[in-house]
Chain A
């Protein structure tokens, strides 16, 4: 599952639960009784009643329904014992006090349920606000290329332009459509991963094939970087979902291409075996600001030097894919500058064997 990097901070709304809340309610009543006893000289019996009501209200708002009822019960007993004549008995001289007791319970129940509802509403409002932020971020990211496409296409339809301008506008339409396609794909991938709808379909794959497929797909993007690979010569099989891991690797390479200047080196180091897949993509760019090593994996996070491409989902998707495999993906600063992304995917045990064949004759004679 995806790390809830942008989820609502529910902790603030969560009320204390269990015995601590009940202890708090009882403590409130004890405190109220102490205040009442201290102020007995100046306070009338009905005033004391108000003090206990305050205790019940406080319990209801801050501690929840159970503790509120508890504080009403203990409060009624304390009030009756200490203050209601005849004092130091639980006898009640006046029926009016029974009404008071009922009121205290009623207030406790009513206020605590109101407080519950208010808390739920606050949580809902926050997740609405979050959804709103995501939506506005997404719609901005999608509208930007769409605006360029619409602009260029309507110019071509409605105006007479010279050949140079025409070519430029057509190029803009192609480039921006491609950008939009990438974003839509990322958004769909992210949604599927976040919904837990993706399961790793593990197969035994040689490590160099995973790296090779990702490097061919990013060839144009990395054409101005020096790409170096360090992969063991013997084919090491790892048990991973080849489609997902290739996607993960492409995202790391795209990230490197986007955040590092042309001419710098991108190093891909990979090894595998029964213990799993270990993969590292390091670059010689400006690196990641200290303290941002986790933030780069947040959805819609964009590094400062990003060239306006993408919706800031690539690394979030990469990490989600690692997690689908029960593995980890971390970013670290590289000694001597640059960023390094390390992937560890636990393995699927002993790799399967391939039946040997008799030594081939030269030229492949059967």
Chain B
């Protein structure tokens, strides 16, 4: 596995959770560092330069979201938030604060490893020179030639649909909040008009999905936002 030696920083105060994470990450070949508080987590993040951070929100000395904001001041390391609170507002807050993904507790190993792989891949893709081809499952976008195909079938998009799909496809597998999408596609003045996104997503689904009422590609995360399914590529690893 290409990311076998990646270093993962686990910031979690629950010893049993750390035990489980250590075991499942270790079994997958990751190196693991552990911290139990916000202060320790920040120190470890600065000193060890981890490739990814798994972060619990309820820490004894503060809110995990503070750690995300502080780390974001100097690093774009992928952060996956683990939380037992599970409310949609908190997911949105974590993602808007700069977390890359959110995993509600309880979660299974398979889910955790899949999300971690997606996050690590995005981090690497962001560092490498951009490719003009975006692929996710049956979807293929050629950014240079401005062409979209689904299973080889060409699809015509309006300019807004194109911008929306490009944004989603360049973050395939990652949840994007309504606010993030609105800022990117419509600009900062549209940040509260979440029905814009919803209407255009409905249009995109009609063009891209075999059955728009049972989407396989453009997935809804209720109350949070949207995620472009990462498709078979990550399924091979599972």
Contact = CB atoms under 8 A, between A and B. Distances in A.
Interface of A: 174, 177, 181, 203-206, 208-209, 211-213, 215-216, 219, 227, 229, 231, 235, 237, 242-243, 246, 268, 352, 354-355, 357-366
Given A216-B215, A363-B145, A364-B148, A209 B198 contact: yes
Contact of A354 (B157, B196, B212, B214): B196
Contacts, number: 99
B36 interface: no
Contacts of B161: 360, 364
A317 B17 CA distance: 31
A215 B159 contact: no
A363 B141 CA distance: 10
A366 B106 contact: no
Contacts of B194: 203-204
Interface size for chain B: under 10, 10 to 19, 20 to 34, or 35 or more residues? 35 or more
Contacts of A216: 214-215, 219-220
B60 to A, nearest CB: 24
Contacts of B211: 229
Given A212-B205, A216-B214, A364 B199 contact: no
A234 to B, nearest CB: 9
Contacts of B215: 212, 216
A213 B211 CA distance: 13
Contacts of B199: 206, 235, 237, 354
B48 interface: no
A347 to B, nearest CB: 14
Nearest to B146: A363
Contacts of A366: 159, 162-163
Contacts of B146: 363-365
B195 interface: yes
22 contacts: A174-B108, A203-B194, A205-B198, A206-B201, A208-B213, A209-B198, A212-B212, A231-B213, A235-B202, A242-B222, A243-B222, A352-B193, A354-B195, A357-B159, A357-B160, A360-B161, A362-B156, A363-B157, A364-B146, A364-B158, A364-B162, A365-B146
A229 B222 contact: no
Contacts of A203: 194-195
B3 interface: no
B214 A229 contact: yes
A355 B195 CA distance: 11
B222 A213 contact: yes
Contact of A206 (B145, B162, B165, B198): B198
Minimum-distance CB pairs A-B, first 6: A364-B162, A360-B158, A243-B223, A364-B157, A204-B195, A213-B220
B158 A359 contact: yes
A279 to B, nearest CB: 12
B14 interface: no
Given A206-B202, A209-B198, A363 B159 contact: no
Contacts of B158: 357, 359-360, 364
Interface string B173-217: 000000000000000000001111011111101000001111100
Contacts of A205: 195, 198
Contacts of A352: 193, 195
Contact of A208 (B145, B165, B202): B202
A361 B146 CA distance: 10
Interface string B153-171: 0001111111101000000
A363 B148 contact: yes
Nearest to A366: B159
Contacts of B203: 235
A243 B89 CA distance: 11
Contacts of B147: 363
Contacts of B198: 204-206, 209, 237
Given A203-B195, A364-B159, 6 more contacts: A219-B214, A243-B222, A352-B195, A359-B158, A364-B157, A364-B161
Interface string B132-161: 000000000000011110000000111111
Nearest to A236: B202
B88 interface: yes
Contact of A211 (B106, B165, B213): B213
User: Max chain A CB contacts within 10 Å: which of B196, B199, B222?
Assistant: B222
A188 to B, nearest CB: 9
